[in-house]
A = this chain, B = another copy of it.
Amino acid sequence: MKAITRIEQSLAAAIALGEDSSCPPKLAGAIRHAVFPGGARIRPQLCLAVAQACGDDDPLLSDATAVAIELLHCASLVHDDLPCFDDAPTRRGRASVHWAYGEPLAVLAGDALIVRAFQTLALCAVHSPLRLPGLLQTVARSVGTPNGIVAGQAWESEPRVSLTDYQRAKTGSLFVAATAGGAQAAGADPLPWRALGEWLGEAYQVADDIRDVAADPELLGKPVGQDVALGRPSAAIELGLGGALEYFNQLIANASDSIPECRGAAQLRLLVQSEAERLVPVAMAEALLKRVAASTVVAS
């Protein structure tokens, strides 16, 4: 079965478990809206790829780990979109949860998704219960305090923040949970797999910063995206567009190099490359670099 099929089926099963006649229908609707249809599902795909590279001897638990990580990611998107944060009217091309269901149900849907993530892990640890404590720790650490995604979001409320701390917590931590958790779900040592998550998480964030700036090509070099509007730290602002692209390529190379020797190493390296191309297509990078060069000529 293709990884994406496993992921979608497991997500559907996890969400369905929370839905019976005793569940308030609007809450159930808001939760579905938050999870389906999804984005690229990159975190759970990464999780399953690592689990497979480590033997995937308990597919139920690997799937649950992938699901838990994706549900936590969805929860963070629902809460990040709230009026008190980004006040985003849309997400994934349609209404955000609070726009479609109202703010109270968006808060509650996020809460319910966090709970469902941990509940899914507990439910699916039936064959390998002794893996649960460590796995749950890995996943929880990537979300909570002191430096999970919730802490990452909270840095936006502080007067000062280092770009690295901010991005590591806000984006990197869930990628680390994906790689380390994927290994743990398959009974492997998570430690050698953390670096892959760290590099990919940073690469993902830098790609996001680049796209935020590149969204309006007329204003290249004078970024006007969300990051600037909301005063968020951004690699594209800090390093310039050319520097950010160079940094992105370096991060992808580091990610690839960090993959531990194992049966599935070659396939994982291919996944990293295809993800890099999806995040910053070569054609887009070349076009951006040409514009940077042109604007430099004009400026000099």
Taking CB atoms, residues of chain B closer than 8 Å to A154 are: 24, 26-27, 104-105, 108
The stretch from A114-122, A189-197, A199-207, A238-246 touching chain B is A114-122
Docked Cα-Cα span, A105 to B158, in Å, equals 10
Q: Tell me which of B31, B114, B119, B153 contacts A137 (CB under 8 A).
A: B119
The stretch from A124-132, A219-227, A276-284, A292-300 touching chain B is A124-132
What 0/1 readout, one digit per residue, does chain A (90-126) give for beta carbons within 8 Å of chain B? 0000000000001111011011101110110111011
Taking CB atoms, residues of chain B closer than 8 Å to A123 are: 133, 137
Query: Does A84 make an interface contact (CB < 8 A)?
Result: yes
Docked Cα-Cα span, A105 to B150, in Å, equals 10
Q: Chain B nearest CB: distance from A29 CB in Å?
A: 10
Query: Does A261 make an interface contact (CB < 8 A)?
Result: no
**Are B132 and A115 touching (Cβ within 8 A)?**
no
The stretch from A15-23, A51-59, A178-186 touching chain B is A15-23
Query: Does A157 make an interface contact (CB < 8 A)?
Result: yes
**Are B143 and A132 touching (Cβ within 8 A)?**
no
Query: Does A141 make an interface contact (CB < 8 A)?
Result: yes
A31 to chain B: closest residue by CB: B145
**Are A144 and B116 touching (Cβ within 8 A)?**
yes
Interface SS majority for chain A: helix
A155 to chain B: closest residue by CB: B24
**Are A145 and B23 touching (Cβ within 8 A)?**
yes
A165 to chain B: closest residue by CB: B22
Query: Does A148 make an interface contact (CB < 8 A)?
Result: yes
**Are B114 and A151 touching (Cβ within 8 A)?**
no
Taking CB atoms, residues of chain B closer than 8 Å to A105 are: 154, 157
Docked Cα-Cα span, A136 to B151, in Å, equals 24
Q: Chain B nearest CB: distance from A148 CB in Å?
A: 7
Taking CB atoms, residues of chain B closer than 8 Å to A82 are: 107
Taking CB atoms, residues of chain B closer than 8 Å to A235 are: none
Q: Contacts A24-B151, A79-B107, A85-B104 hold; do A18 and B140 have CB atoms under 8 A apart?
A: no
Query: Does A146 make an interface contact (CB < 8 A)?
Result: yes
Docked Cα-Cα span, A118 to B161, in Å, equals 28
Taking CB atoms, residues of chain B closer than 8 Å to A115 are: 114, 140, 143-145, 148, 150
Which residues of A are in contact with B by a Cβ distance under 8 Å?
18-20, 22-28, 31, 75, 79, 82, 84-85, 102-105, 107-108, 110-112, 114-116, 118-119, 121-123, 125-126, 129-130, 132-134, 136-137, 140-141, 143-148, 150-151, 153-158, 161, 165, 169
15 contacts between A and B (CB under 8 A): A18-B144, A18-B145, A22-B146, A22-B169, A24-B154, A24-B155, A27-B151, A28-B145, A84-B102, A111-B150, A115-B150, A116-B145, A122-B140, A129-B130, A132-B133
